Amino acid sequence: MQPRLLLNGIALSLMISTFGAQAAGLSNQHGSFGKMPDGTPIEKYTLKNSQGVEAVVITYGGVLQSLLIPDKNGKTEDIVLGFDDVDGYIKNGNVYFGATIGRFGNRIADGRFELDGKTYQIPQNDGSNALHGGPEGFDKRVWKAKPADEDGWVGVELSYVSPDGEMGFPGTMTTHVTYSLNEENELRIQYRATTDKPTVLNLTNHSYFNLAGAGSPSVLDQVATLHASRYTPVTEKLIPTGELAEVKGTPMDFLQPTRFGEHIKDDHEQLKFAEAKAGGFDFNWVLDTEGDLSKLATEVYDPESGRRLLMYTTEPGVQLYTGNFLDGSIKGKGGKTYSHWSAFTLETQHYPDSPNQPDFPSTRLDPGETYTQTTIYKFPKP
């Protein structure tokens, strides 16, 4: 049964700050984001620093609901796609705006995998594949929340207990996800999970970014650098073949700063597979950073606004997706329309279909072990 969140009376708007956070100009505001159809309240936490950066996290789906970042002229814009109310997220759940993804981010072929000689079936919700943990994954759950401020950071810790057998996955799994902000304009996402039976997991965040501002018509002129010499080619069903292929000589080569739009329409087999699914990038890159959080994994720059996103992660891969299924039919925050190729994701992760790919890094978690992952999105002053 999904846990319910209880508030004392009506939702309050109050400041929760440690002395260290106050001294650094950081604040953590807690309030309401409405209610579920059954009356379950949805909370929001607003994390702010003195540089004009503001992140809003809600307990429905563990969603990063907004992220305000100043441009080169000091003008602040929300750079992540999303909705103004919880109904928008419920009605448009198949786009995963800002969501915490689990138990298994990305695709599992035929929704099946074997663990210790037993076969498990996950509901298929992407053709024959299981995508992002099935149709009722972590992005559809209401998480518990509490402040998680520490010296130099303000944050919120979300937690969810996934029962044994939920969406077909074995084991009762307890997951904690903490969003934190500091004065260096770093938004840090930390993941921690344990299980009481052997299971598989692949947690990530599915924020859609547009550095020109959410609702701007295109990201094709934004410039990306991926420190990834290889990627995992896919079949026509977008399931990895098992090969780790070199990016050089392919449209997947972002080793040097490259516009998203420079090769997105190239005549290449992999892009043709994606084209059948609406066209654009939707691939997993094998990071050269080898899980070292101190090494820059990805950088994206918007020449128009001057905004820059630097990404660091402990994960071995990142899924770059260019909003291929966005078609202008979804209206988001402030009534803005989200059009084709108007956003990109950087989903830090283990590789797709890893439970069925013995040569990929393992996504197995056993009792007594603790899964951890950290990803940092940094926004230097333009």
**Contact present, 61 and 89 (Cβ < 8 Å):** yes
Strand residue runs (E) in 229-340 = 230-231, 245-246, 258-259, 282-286, 298-301, 308-313, 317-321, 330-331, 337-338
**Is 107 annotated as a binding-site member?**
yes
Catalytic residue among 43, 206, 315, 350: 206
229 marked as part of a ligand binding site: no
Residue 156 pairs in a beta bridge with 147, 179
Contacts of 241 (CB under 8 A, 6+ apart): 232, 233, 234, 235
Respond yes or no: is residue 114 known to be catalytic. Answer: no
Q: 344 and 222 in contact (C-beta within 8 Å)?
A: yes
State the first-to-last Cα distance of the chain, in angstroms, to the nearest integer.
47
Q: Which residue has the tokens 């650098």?
A: 225
Q: Which of 157, 166, 299, 347 is catalytic?
A: 347
- In 95-185, where do the E strands start and end? 99-101, 107-108, 112-115, 118-121, 130-131, 144-147, 154-162, 173-181
> Distances in Å between the alpha carbon of 150 and those of 28, 50, 130, 154, 179?
11, 16, 38, 6, 12
Q: Give yes or no: 347 in active site.
A: yes
Residue 116 assigned to a binding site: no
Q: Is 73 annotated as a binding residue?
A: no
- Sequence ranges of the binding site for beta-D-galactose: 106-107, 206-208, 282
Active site residues: 206, 347
- Sequence ranges of the binding site: 106-107, 206-208, 282
